[in-house]
Structure 1
Amino acid sequence: MSFSSTHPFAVGNFRITPLSRSSGSDQHTALLSIQRGQGSQTHDRVYTFKPEFKTQDSALMYAAAQGRYWLLNPASLA
């Protein structure tokens, strides 16, 4: 199992990092890390999404889209 990330983006106090996890045989899972705070006061939530993707890029794009949607509607991942 391997992980891959794209460039994180920051908005206000939040740092959004789209991630992809490869489970082999052309299966990639989209993950999203949402970080808040600095130093020892950092809080990080990682969300895993249900759909499987055939390419790493499509999983990363899905995770990034979910991160942008979360910024508009934080209750969407509650």
Structure 2
Amino acid sequence: MPAWLSRPVLVALFVLPLLAVVLLSTPAWLTWPFLPARRQEVVLAVLDRLVRWTRVAVPRAGGTAEQAVVK
């Protein structure tokens, strides 16, 4: 594989599962306003974990994965 192709392949490997999770969770987001408060908290906790995973898995340019972790 050419060196210039490795970066887009890595980005696709991270983005495709993330896109699948977002698309599969669409029913949860559409019904979220109608859920009880406890269920809304669970959905927000899942979203928070997804955001943290994304920040760790795909570090910002010029930074490392350790710097991207939000505590």
Q: What is the TM-score normalised by the length of structure 1?
A: 0.30
Question: RCO higher in 1 or 2 (8 Å CA, sep ≥ 6)?
Answer: 1
Q: What is the TM-score normalised by the length of structure 2?
A: 0.33
Which protein is richer in helix relative to its size?
2
Of the two, which has the highest radius of gyration? Answer: 2
